[in-house]
């Protein structure tokens, strides 16, 4: 392929020096996330250091009609960072400063390259924490861009609720602050929420003000095995309806448990499990755990075991967070094809059980894991992408799963985003809505240079 965007790259090099890279290895590293989507290399990679630098970079790209693809940690699941139309990958990893923390206000402002674990390490001694936890140690910019969530969302919400305000560089290089630091505001259109989940297609998220939470006085975790998936799911539904403010309530089916046991050297029985966590005062955590233990027992739960031991608890959640890697390790050279539907909780048991039946027809093992308190679950097959029949079978399964979820009033993606792979499903889910999204995209990025080809097709 002949070099492209050579004039833009010259200008970018003049601005950034050796922080503008075109070496093959660097471009390859920025060609893909952790999904099965085909890698697509950018023409160059910019390692930016500040919001004003991002603004200058975007202005140069716009003058030369060069696509701009923001890159955080490359740990997403829908191919959002793959440079499908080439252009410039804007690597945010050097923008890793925690700009301010206010323990009194329980908020902080960070550059987009700060990762969730980096932030929590920084907060460790201040009595506050940041709850949102996708499996990977993702960057907070990437998490905002994909409207990420994780295991704590049932209690603390997703990035939609966590982000108080953003500083964004628009397609024309303008720097826009989307909100004040107030907790609550009715000041005009909710630009913050417009950019959260826009996956880099409306602008580059450079700084993020985040809502933090007080570290609870007491935290305890619990594990409970169930004879049936149905019993586990019904326990979740009843718990939520009782108003127990679960901090975490995660489902793993027996295939997922098998993957976890192998990858994390655990020895859970080969049955569906709930992993749970309770946050509060000592007395209140105990009361919550007793309520849920009773509900679980009524639904066929066995050996409801809870622990306030920090190490045991950390090991439990590390095993859960490593699930995608555990699933991938089930086979050699496999890539994860993660599904991500979310349905109203009244339909959750039905949706999971129909999906479990469907999985029985599939040629490969497919673990089910879920943030079931939200109605969100993933089927996580480890795919041999060189096997066309297998890929076709999994894609057909995925299609059936999404149709099932949409018919139940659900969504094709609870937390991973649309990226490259779900644009048609987004149109099926919100046909009139997509037309409005296109109008917004055209108004804010008329040349379609910001992560082009993702989320919507103009």
For the segment 233-272, give every residue that binds a second copy (CB under 8 A). Answer: 237, 240-243, 245
Which of 213, 302, 313, 400 lies at the binding interface for a second copy (CB under 8 A)? 213
Burial class of residue 433 (count of CB atoms within 10 Å of its CB; 0-12, 13-18, 19+): exposed
Interaction of residue 190 with a second copy, rule CB under 8 A = yes
Which of 27, 116, 147, 211 lies at the binding interface for a second copy (CB under 8 A)? 147
Site for a second copy in 315-334 (CB under 8 A): none
Interaction of residue 80 with a second copy, rule CB under 8 A = no
Structure tokens belonging to residue 337: 């094809």
Residue 182: CB minimum distance to a second copy, A: 4
Which of 15, 106, 315, 354 lies at the binding interface for a second copy (CB under 8 A)? 106
> How does DSSP classify residue 38?
P
Residue 55: CB minimum distance to a second copy, A: 11
Interaction of residue 52 with a second copy, rule CB under 8 A = no
Site for a second copy in 384-423 (CB under 8 A): 406, 409-418, 422
Element (H, E) at 21: strand 20-21
Residue 88: CB minimum distance to a second copy, A: 23
CA 355 and chain centroid, separation = 22
Q: How far apart are CA 436 and CA 454, in angstroms?
A: 16
Site for a second copy in 117-136 (CB under 8 A): none
Interaction of residue 170 with a second copy, rule CB under 8 A = yes
Size of the site for a second copy (CB under 8 A): 93
By CB under 8 A, which span of 25-33, 157-165, 295-303, 354-362 interacts with a second copy?
157-165
Which of 35, 146, 254, 299 lies at the binding interface for a second copy (CB under 8 A)? 146
By CB under 8 A, which span of 67-75, 261-269, 279-287, 330-338 interacts with a second copy?
279-287
Which of 23, 38, 99, 176 lies at the binding interface for a second copy (CB under 8 A)? 176
| Cα angle for residues 118, 120, 121 (degrees, 5° grid) | 65
Q: How far apart are CA 91 and CA 70, in angstroms?
A: 6
Interaction of residue 442 with a second copy, rule CB under 8 A = yes
Which of 48, 92, 202, 210 lies at the binding interface for a second copy (CB under 8 A)? 202
Q: How far is CA 244 from CA 251, 296, 304, in A?
A: 17, 13, 17
Residue 274: CB minimum distance to a second copy, A: 18
309, 220 contact by CB (below 8 A):
no
- C-beta closer to a second copy: residue 174 or 399: 174
Interaction of residue 342 with a second copy, rule CB under 8 A = yes
Q: How far apart are CA 302 and CA 232, in angstroms?
A: 11
Interaction of residue 447 with a second copy, rule CB under 8 A = no
Q: How far is CA 143 from CA 5, 195, 438, in A?
A: 29, 11, 22
Interaction of residue 353 with a second copy, rule CB under 8 A = no
3-class SS of residue 109? strand
244, 291 contact by CB (below 8 A):
yes
Q: How far is CA 135 from CA 153, 289, 348, 369, in A?
A: 13, 25, 22, 12
Which of 10, 121, 424, 435 lies at the binding interface for a second copy (CB under 8 A)? 435
Name the residue among 246, 238, 236 with its Cα closest to residue 277: 246
Q: How far is CA 446 from CA 11, 60, 189, in A?
A: 23, 16, 20
By CB under 8 A, which span of 4-12, 29-37, 182-190, 319-327 interacts with a second copy?
182-190
Interaction of residue 100 with a second copy, rule CB under 8 A = no
| Cα angle for residues 350, 354, 355 (degrees, 5° grid) | 115
């Amino acid at each position: 392929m002949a070099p492209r965007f050579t004039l833009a790259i010259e200008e970018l090099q003049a601005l950034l020096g050796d922080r503008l890279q075109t070496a093959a290895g660097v471009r390859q590293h920025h060609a893909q996330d952790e999904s099965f989507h085909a890698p697509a290399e950018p023409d160059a990679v910019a390692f930016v250091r500040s919001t004003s630098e991002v603004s200058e970079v975007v202005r140069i790209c716009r003058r030369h009609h060069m696509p701009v693809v923001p890159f955080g940690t490359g740990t997403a699941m829908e191919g959002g960072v793959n440079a499908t139309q080439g252009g410039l990958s804007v690597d945010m990893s050097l923008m890793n400063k925690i700009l301010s923390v206010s323990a009194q206000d329980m908020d902080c402002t960070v550059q987009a390259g700060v990762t969730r674990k980096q932030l929590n390490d920084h907060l460790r001694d201040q009595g506050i924490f940041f709850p949102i936890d996708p499996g990977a140690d993702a960057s907070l910019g990437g998490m905002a861009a994909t409207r990420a969530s994780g295991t704590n969302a049932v209690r603390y919400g997703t990035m939609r609720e966590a982000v108080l305000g953003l500083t964004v560089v628009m397609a024309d290089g303008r720097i826009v602050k989307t909100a004040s630091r107030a907790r609550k505001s009715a000041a005009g259109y909710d630009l913050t929420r417009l950019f959260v989940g826009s996956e880099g297609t409306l602008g580059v998220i450079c700084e993020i003000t985040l809502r933090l939470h007080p570290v609870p006085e007491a935290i305890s975790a619990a594990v409970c095995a169930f004879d049936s998936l149905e019993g586990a799911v019904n326990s979740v539904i009843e718990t939520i309806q009782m108003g127990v403010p679960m901090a975490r309530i995660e489902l793993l089916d027996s295939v997922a448990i098998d993957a976890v046991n192998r990858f994390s050297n655990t020895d859970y029985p080969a049955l569906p499990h709930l992993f749970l966590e309770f946050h509060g005062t000592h007395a209140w955590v105990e009361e919550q755990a007793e309520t849920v233990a009773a509900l679980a027992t009524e639904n066929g739960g066995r050996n409801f075991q809870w622990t306030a031991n920090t190490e045991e608890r950390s090991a439990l959640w590390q095993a859960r967070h490593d699930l995608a890697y555990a699933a991938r390790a089930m086979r050699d050279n496999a890539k994860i094809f993660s599904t991500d539907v979310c349905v109203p909780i009244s339909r959750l048991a039905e949706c999971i059980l129909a999906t479990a039946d469907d999985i029985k027809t599939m040629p490969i093992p497919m673990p089910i894991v879920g943030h079931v308190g939200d109605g969100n679950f993933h089927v996580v097959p480890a795919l041999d992408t060189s096997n066309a029949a297998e890929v076709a079978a999994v894609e057909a399964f995925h299609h059936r799963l999404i149709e099932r979820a949409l018919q139940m009033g659900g969504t094709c993606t609870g937390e991973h985003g649309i990226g490259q792979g779900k644009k048609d499903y987004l149109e099926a889910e919100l046909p009139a809505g997509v037309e409005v999204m296109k109008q917004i995209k055209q108004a804010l990025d008329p040349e379609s240079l910001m992560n082009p080809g993702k989320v919507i097709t103009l």
